[in-house]
Amino acid sequence: MMKKPVILLVDDEEAIVTSLRGGLEDEGYIVITATDGVKAVDIVKSQPLDIVFLDIWLPGIDGLETLKAIKDFDSDIDVVIMTGHGTVSTAVQAVKQGAFDFLEKPFSLDTVLDIIHKIEHKRAAIRSDMSRTPPSEEPPALIGTSHTLRMLQEKISQLASGNSHVTICGETGTGKELIARLIHAGSRAAKRRFEKCNAAFYAPEEIEAELFGLPKTADASASRTGLLRDRSIGTLFFESLFQLPPRLQQRLADAIGKASAPRIIASMPLTAGADEEPTLQPQLAACFSESLLVPPLRERRGDIPVLLEYFIKQYCMEYNCKEKTIDDAALELLVNYDWPGNVKELKNMAEKLVVSVPTSHISIHDIPLAVRDELQHSMSRYYERYRSMDDAEAAWRKNYILYHLRKNNRDIAATAAQIRVKEKTLKKYIRQYGIVIAGKKKTPQLRQRTLKRSMVLSGRGLHSGDKTGIILTPLPPNSGIVFGNISTGETVRADIDNVVSTELSTCVQANGAIARTIEHFLATLHAYRITNLMIKINNEVPIMDGSAVDFCQVIEDAGIEEQDAPLEEIIVTDRYVLGEVKKNAKFIMIEPADVFSISYTLQYPKPVGTQEYTFVLKDEEMFKTEIAPARTFGFLKDVEAMEKKGLASGGRLNNVILIDDEKIVNTDLRYPDEFARHKILDMMGDLYLLGRPIRGKITANMTGHTENAAFVRMLRDKLGL
């Protein structure tokens, strides 16, 4: 008899959950429910599931993030996306990311059942293919070299030599079934079958027939030999045995005592942080005279590199791709991650890396964000995993030490000084918590820069409309970027603390000096890494043709001078987010990366629509060709409103892209996604208010100068700049 799939329903609409659950349970399915993505992922990690029906709009983490987390943990779970009107395109994208199918609300129970039947038929076909595949001649094996694993192997050998019934206790994903197979393979019953049975997959009357059989009747097809009476079975591996009703636990205890019954190995789950662990009825528990506790992966971290190498090599062969290597920083992160899903989660991770990383080299930035996020800066919400206050305090202390080690480039002496402990004490903690430290990152030493000679440029201010000039004067090392007034000589530094307006452009003011519309010029200085320069203007930087092309040219005409002073690049080591990362929300997020990049999504009314562009700053030439030519743009109705306020007086047909309700009215676009590129230009300029180039991957959605300035302030505070 084919078992019914276990189904998880995830939706925050109670009426949908109640209706769908009732219909599916009437059809005999086991149904579990969750109201948000976080609870759904917890359920996926805590018990076996087959199908998840997942709403795309959820509180907390949305459906796409939840889908990713589910597939990262177990790619075999089939996920069906449920979507409301107007989000079909998103659902289709979810299918591309691994969802089995999608349902558009409202839908009928028959439609849901049709999809479930499709999944059941697919799984039956897979099982059929597997049954035709010759079994491997090699017995299963535990991978690793740690002392903990060797002790486990010794216990397995001891249990294999006996014939006692055994309970195997361990967290989800620790390999309890593999250990049961190893015990069977080393036992006297190895020539007979190893059979599995999961009590959670059956209704009480079904599991009773599965175990004890059905009596012979005139209808031979209705007769069945139960698993406990099948002499071809050498070992019966039981999952969720504790879920048997008390009456059946009693009957099973009576049957186990008979000589004809197979050897029983029962898997018992452990959930870190749970108040109570599942237990058996006393008479059934007494039948198991041997037990084995499987350690979680976090307690044998020394095996993680070996397991990673094994699984990566295995999947490279399976997917017929070149062998991949993993760098020290990525390995360090994965070794120090706590792996709540244990070896199963690690195996799924290895497969994902093999499939998703296009190069033969796996870096720290290829590791899924969920892993980096949990380890590096959000551990507090995971403390419920730990079984005691001591474990929770140890977890906090370990991650505190890891954070400061990374911040100090793995320098133990510097880290010890910063956290105010002796170096000897810090080394003791590193050994105690099994922290693995990769070699120090070697960062090329940058030098400060200025121009080789003074330059002059003339143009018109966008908002004032005044003719204005710009005089560039080289400055000595450590002077910074300074704006000065041509007439008065008063100056203001390009610093986030001096920002006084971001309504239409970025404006800084101090000491009686003001500098408006500075973002395009600062973006150019950012790209060319100019760190020391005096920029004299008449209160506003000229708009030129609405882009930064002329600014690139004036810098190249002047020439760049490398100065005899080091430049400390801002290297982002953690993830920081301004706003809420949602499709239709304004947000900016930065993550660690080897280079500086910005991915920007712009969503405007027609005729602009949605535009997306990703820019990686590898050198000045890429900025000059990909970003600098992108021009300022505006809607006619907005320009008219600004003119009434005395602004936008310098807007001309040749320096602003003008848009009405139907089309662009004054020019042809230089790029199909010119508006998104211009937003990147603005952001590069606003980021340079930190005064130094930055290294990190930025993702931004629908943001402008106001959000840029808030993000820069947040980075300054978080990074202690």
**Per-residue pLDDT tens digits for 617-646:** 988 999 999 999 999 887 766 555 444 444
Partners of residue 170 on adjacent β-strands: 269
Any residues with CB less than 8 A from the CB of 681 and at least 6 apart, and which?
519, 520, 523, 547, 548, 627, 628, 630
705 is catalytic: yes
Contact of 173 with 72, CB cutoff 8 Å: no
Given a cut of 80, is residue 700 above it in pLDDT?
yes
Count of C-beta atoms within a 10 Å radius of residue 283: 14
CB 142 within 8 A of CB 20: no
Which pLDDT score, from 0 to 100, does residue 370 have?
Answer: 64
**Among 341, 318, 342, 333, residue whose Cα is nearest residue 368:** 333
Asked if 169 and 293 count as a contact pair (C-beta separation under 8 A), the reply is yes
Distance between CA 591 and CA 598 in Å, rounded?
A: 11
pLDDT (average), residues 458-480: 75
In this predicted structure, which of 65-79, 459-473, 502-516 has the lowest mean pLDDT? Answer: 459-473
Question: What secondary structure does DSSP assign to 340-384, as a single string?
Answer: TTHHHHHHHHHHHHHHH--SSEE-GGGS-HHHHHHHHH-GGGGGG
Say which residue, 335 or 223, is predicted with more confidence. 335
Q: What is the pLDDT of residues 524-548, one digit of tens each?
A: 999 999 999 999 888 889 888 889 9
Measured distance CA(55)–CA(107) in Å, rounded: 13
Taking alpha carbons only, the member of 193, 177, 263 closest to residue 232 is 193
In the predicted structure, residue 235 carries a pLDDT above the cut 60:
yes
CA pair distance 639, 167, nearest whole angstrom? 75
pLDDT at position 45, please?
78
pLDDT at residue 687 greater than cutoff 60: yes
Average pLDDT over residues 475-479: 90
| Dihedral angle sign, alpha carbons of residues 316, 309, 368, 575 | negative
For 248, residues 6+ apart whose C-beta sits below 8 A from its C-beta are 204, 207, 208, 211
pLDDT of residue 647: 42
User: What pLDDT does 400 receive?
Assistant: 83
**Rounded to whole angstroms, how far apart are CA atoms 577 and 658?**
32
pLDDT of residue 2: 52
Instruction: Indicate the residue type of 495.
Output: D
What is the bridge-based pairing of β-strands 51-55 and 78-83?
Answer: parallel
Contact 518, 685 (CB under 8 A): yes
125: pLDDT confidence band, cut at 50, 70 and 90? low
pLDDT digits (tens, 9 = 90+) for 354-400: 877 878 888 888 887 767 665 554 444 454 556 677 777 777 788 78
Residue 300 confidence (pLDDT) above 70: yes
Euclidean distance between CA atoms 311 and 302, whole angstroms: 15
One-character DSSP codes across 473-500: EE--TT--EEEEETTT--EEE--GGGEE
pLDDT higher than threshold 50 for residue 698? yes
pLDDT of residue 130: 47
The full length of the chain comes to 721
Question: Per-residue confidence at 131, pLDDT binned at 50, 70, 90?
Answer: very low
Domains of the chain and CATH, by start = 6-132 (3.40.50.2300), 147-295 (3.40.50.300), 302-360+367-424 (1.10.8.60), 446-567 (3.30.230.20), 570-719 (3.30.1700.10)
pLDDT tens digits along 47-69: 778 899 998 888 878 888 898 88
d(CA 146, CA 134): 32
Catalytic residue among 165, 184, 526, 705: 705
> For the chain, what percent of residues have pLDDT higher than 90?
28
Is the pLDDT at 477 greater than 60, yes or no?
A: yes
Predicted confidence at residue 216, as pLDDT, reads 64
Mean pLDDT over 28-44 rounds to 88
Computed over every residue of the chain, the mean pLDDT equals 82
| DSSP state letter for 214 | B
Residue 680: is its pLDDT beyond 90? yes
The pLDDT value given to residue 136: 43
What average pLDDT does this structure show over 492-515? 90
556 falls in which pLDDT band (50, 70, 90)?
very high
DSSP conformational letter for 224: B
Q: Is residue 715 a contact partner of residue 693, using CB atoms and an 8 Å limit?
A: no
- The answer to whether residue 161 scores a pLDDT higher than 70 is yes
| Encoded tokens for 692 | 């130094």
- Give the SS3 label for residue 399: helix
Q: Which of 73, 88, 27 is nearest to 348 (CA)?
A: 73
Joined together, the tokens standing for residue 358 give 């296009």
Q: What's the mean pLDDT in 469-480?
A: 88
**Rounded-to-10 torsion of CA 118, 122, 124, 130:** 180
- What ranges make up the beta strands (E) of 165-324? 166-170, 193-198, 233-239, 263-269, 290-293
Q: Cis peptide leading into 607, omega within 30 of 0? A: yes
* Predicted local distance difference test score (pLDDT) of residue 408: 75
CA distance linking residue 418 with residue 491, whole number of Å:
37
User: How many H helices and E strands in the chain?
Assistant: 23, 31
Q: Do 188 and 288 form a contact (C-beta atoms < 8 A)?
A: no
- The most confident of the ranges 311-320, 391-400, 680-689 is 680-689
For position 450, what pLDDT does the model report? 94
The whole-number pLDDT of residue 555 equals: 94
Rounded distance between C-alpha atoms, residue 599 and residue 610, angstroms: 13
